[in-house]
Chain A
Amino acid sequence: MRRSTPFLLAVCTAVAVGVVGCTSDVPGASPSAGPSGAGTGETSKFFVQADHDNELALRTKTATGPADKPWEQALDPKTVDTAKYKKAGPYHLCFSNAGVGNPWRQVGFKNMQAEVKLHPEIKTFTVADAESKDDKQISDITDLLGKGCDALIVSPNTTATLTPAVEQACAKVPVIVFDRGVNTKCPVTFINPIGGYAFGATGAEFLVEKVKPKGKILALRILPGVDVLEARWGAAKVVFDKSDLDVVGVEFTDGDAAKTKTIVTNYLQRFGDIDGIWMDAGATAVAAAEAFEDAGKPFPAIVGEDQQDFLKMWQDKKLTAIAPTYPTYQWRTPVIAALKILNGEAVASPWKLPQPTITSDNLSQYVQADMPPLHYAMCGCATLPGYPKDWGGK
């Protein structure tokens, strides 16, 4: 019910605007009407305080493992014994992929394929692409189980819906889940970087530090309902609520640059100027910044991500920016973990990977002019076979 009130309200507004046209007196629909119009809105039901605090704490921990290989590092690892899975090679590795529908997953998947190439003991590597359809991924998993995999890697499309399928799989083979989690402890390990809360908080804290008090912040989100993104916003919200910054809007961009630019331009017209842009993902950071450029306004303090186009702009235009990352090198780790497990070696569970942040200090080492604009710098792929060609670089 609660959720439907603003809905109805806006609908009425629409009727008023579109049909009657008596819009001169629609103050009822002033920015405070929509929940996202003012302040930061309600707390997402995805927000879990404990995880939040835990993640923020993890940011300061130092990782164990080879310094030059963050994808093999782990933050205060609790290892689990995997002797019962020990088994002689060669191995048949299976991977149920949620999809490759965006550049991040593209880069990541390339990393994983390259990582597999590094290990001759992997005889076959079977991949099922769910095309970001939950029900297909469920079928895929059953399907893969029929193919005699020695270990199954799962990158779930959504958390809740994949749980039953993964539980089925656990009964048959060792399962490694990464990126997104599942609501069950049955997988041998769950691999991901520190996570969304840390990502969101880092960006928000940067803005709090850089933007003058009472400064206007616009939060741009890709789309609702993706837990990773919800977590990022959840943490940012906590930071903003504590700060004296004024969040003038939270908008969804569908990751569409043109739409992003339009939205930002509208906000610039509405509020004269915006002092900070927070984003839950960097895909549209460049478009957002350009909106300021085109409007002849000074660049705001901006939160991006480790995509080349943004890093390049950052360097060229001397932006006040930060790029928390959700490293794509995490796609390498599951393969490594799988082999460890099949060797009976203990592995960290959960396996928390470090989550570096790009700042103006270390920016230069991540800008790679010869990589495609949407390539993710934090891919740990420079040493992998086929680099840079396979990643679209020259």
Chain B
Amino acid sequence: MSTETLRARLRLPGLDATNGVWPALAVALIVGGTLVALDGGSLFSESSTISLLQRAAGLGIVAVGQTIAILAGSLDLSVAYVISLTSLVAAETMAGSDGMVLPAILLVLVVSAVIGLVNGLLITKLRINAFIATLGVGLLIKGYLEQGYAGPAGSVPVSFQHLGYDRLGPVPLSFLLFAAVAAAVWFTLRSTRYGHHLIATGGDLDVARLSGVRTDRVLIRTHVICSLCAGIAGLYLASRLGAGAPRVGAEGGYDLESIAAVVLGGTVLAGGRGGVTGTVGGVLLLAVIDGVFNQLEVDSFFKQMVRGVVIVAAVAVYALRLRRTSDRRKAAVA
């Protein structure tokens, strides 16, 4: 125990699964880098770096939202369709005119917030399991999209496309947006009451409730924020694609991919443990794997297999580490 208190006094982070993703990322970069180099390409050439970060951005923004949903002990399977919907809302509202950019952004935020609110209310007030609730909402949006849209619609003005195409050196604007969103959420979790209450809610609903946390509000707010992130991702895709695309979310597999990125980042699916930093690592890891295989021109199917194995393996390692620590803990107690 005394070493523990020392460690705590020195503000050293305890052994935490979320740290695990960074070594993994390093390994991926080194191994991948060498493989690509042997193949005669370069993983770190400007163009490939750009497209790597570029692709990390979209998923990243969604994954950050997904992170807090999972941290709060919930889950959001509707994000993919929210992305598609908001990309359309954005593009159709802008309809190519610079003047409409701001209104469109606002509208997108409102729409996604409302969807998040619905998710939250279904889960808290009607007590529907988050899995089913968000799945159902997703289906509703899907139906609306399939019914209403026969393909890409609307168009965004060039001024708005900067978000999708500009960059500072090798770093795309969109990646900075991702970083900003992540930072904001990280800060929220660390330094606001809501953040503390969120993690408490995910850790143990009853404890949080009995400690005076309004868990329902926390969950609702969490789902709103999660949807907002999806909305922002939708905005980014709209600017990237120059139009709204009714299937971009589903085809991108953002729902399961984001969850994968989150757990890859060491956040526990059961909630209450983990964080945004891990998720950022998870997203980068997936992006690097993607990039490497792109450079090596490995066919996408094989890539998918590897992705599946990596995810399971990573979580298995985390689980192992958790058990080790908890064993040590038990030993200390007895």
- List residues of A whose CB falls within 8 A of some B CB: 3-4, 6-7, 44-46, 99-100, 126-129, 131-136, 138-140, 142-143, 145-147, 158-161, 163-164, 223-227, 230, 252
Contacts and interface: CB of A to CB of B under 8 A. Distances in A.
Closest 5 CB pairs of A and B: A146-B47, A225-B151, A161-B241, A139-B51, A3-B148
A122 to B, nearest CB: 15
B interface secondary structure, majority: helix
Contacts of A223: 146
Contacts of A44: 150
Contacts of A3: 147-149
Nearest to B45: A146
A139 B297 contact: no
Contacts of B146: 223-225, 252
A158 B46 contact: no
A142 B297 CA distance: 15
A147 B243 CA distance: 28
10 contacts: A3-B148, A3-B149, A4-B148, A134-B251, A135-B54, A143-B51, A160-B155, A161-B245, A225-B146, A227-B151
Interface in B213-270: 237, 240-243, 245-248, 251-252
Contacts of A158: 151-152, 245
Contacts of B248: 133-135, 161
B300 A100 contact: yes
B311 to A, nearest CB: 17
A161 B45 contact: no
B149 to A, nearest CB: 6
B48 A143 contact: yes
Contacts of A225: 146, 149-152, 246-247
Contacts of A4: 144, 148
Interface of B: 41, 45-48, 50-51, 54-55, 58, 143-144, 146-152, 155, 161, 165, 237, 240-243, 245-248, 251-252, 294, 297, 299-300
A138 B174 CA distance: 14
A6 B147 contact: yes
B24 to A, nearest CB: 23
Contacts of A224: 146, 149-151
A160 B243 contact: yes
Contact of B242 (A132, A133, A163): A163
A307 to B, nearest CB: 21
A88 to B, nearest CB: 22
A128 B146 CA distance: 29
Nearest to A3: B148
Contacts of A6: 147
A7 B252 contact: no
B69 to A, nearest CB: 23
A264 to B, nearest CB: 20
A92 to B, nearest CB: 12
Contacts of B240: 134-135, 138
B51 A7 contact: no
B147 A226 contact: no
Contact of B237 (A135, A140, A160): A135
Contact of A7 (B47, B148, B155, B247): B148
A4 B148 CA distance: 7
A131 B246 CA distance: 16
Contact of B58 (A128, A135, A140): A135
A170 B58 CA distance: 26
A133 B87 CA distance: 14
Given A129-B300, A133-B251, A160-B243, 12 more contacts: A3-B147, A4-B144, A45-B150, A129-B299, A133-B248, A135-B237, A143-B48, A143-B294, A158-B151, A159-B152, A161-B242, A161-B248
Contacts of A129: 299-300
Contact of A131 (B41, B245, B300): B300
A131 B237 CA distance: 16
A163 B54 CA distance: 18
Nearest to B238: A161
Given A131-B300, A135-B58, A158-B245, A140 B147 contact: no
B151 A230 contact: yes
Contacts of B152: 158-161, 225
Nearest to B51: A139
Contacts of A46: 150-151
Given A127-B297, A161-B242, A139 B55 contact: yes
A164 B297 CA distance: 24
Contacts of B297: 126-128
A230 B150 contact: yes
A145 to B, nearest CB: 7
Given A225-B149, A225-B151, A128 B47 contact: no
A96 to B, nearest CB: 11
